[in-house]
Amino acid sequence: MLITEQQLLHILPNAGRNVGIFVPALNTAMNHYGIVGAVRVAAFIAQVGHESGQLRYVREIWGPTKQQAGYEGRADLGNTTKGDGSKYRGRGLIQITGRANYAACSEALGLDLISNPQLLEVPRHAAMSAAWFWSTRALNTLADQGEFVKITRRINGGENGLADRQALYEKALKVLA
């Protein structure tokens, strides 16, 4: 199942012309990681749609906010060198965050994201990193089981933005049915 520009724009109307940029990248990434079928695609598009502000942001806007300042020195994220918090801020359509996640993603995608973290801002890498993250967290299984809140928790660590994610999911299910 390939998503079309028209379908994606209907689900993510604020994406505007970015839809044309991301449709090929999303289709390639989803097919590569088995995000196929209306339920999986709807869940994935809803989550990346929320995480990226409807495909408008592939890099976390940096304040730093109190939460972002907390990335600095977080061993669980692999941020052990001064400046890692900002350098390895959320990037890609699902906001890969932290040196350790960048290293794992780097290995999986065959990119040097440690030296060039901004590569996750390139549409094809932004989409592929999101699909890789989705796959490594077994989110296809949760999508198949209808466990949308659990998917949100695995991506976000909590339920931030759940109402928006849920609304995007319901819209996507209707559009892709």
Domains and CATH numbers, the chain: 5-57+123-176 (no CATH), 66-119 (3.30.20)
Residue 98 is classified by DSSP as: S
Burial code (b: 16+ CB inside 10 Å, e: under 16) for 66-100 equals: eebeebeebeebbbeeeebbbbbbbbbbbbbbbbb
pLDDT of 1 reads 78
- For the CA atoms of 106, 109, 115, 116, the dihedral, rounded to the nearest 10 degrees, stands at -130
Mean pLDDT taken over the chain: 97
What is the pTM (predicted TM-score) of this model?
A: 0.96
Residues 51, 107, 121, 159: which is the catalytic one? Answer: 51
Average pLDDT over residues 114-131: 98
pLDDT of 141 reads 98
Residue 150 near residue 47, CB atoms below 8 Å: no
Task: Quote the CA–CA distance of 137 and 167 in Å, as a whole number.
Answer: 22
Average pLDDT over residues 81-104: 97
* Confidence tier at 169 by pLDDT (50, 70, 90): very high
- Which pair of tokens denotes residue 31? 């097919």
Average pLDDT over residues 36-52: 98
Sequence-ordered list of residues with C-beta below 8 angstroms from that of 28, at least 6 positions apart, any chain: 124, 127, 128
Q: Is 51 a catalytic residue?
A: yes
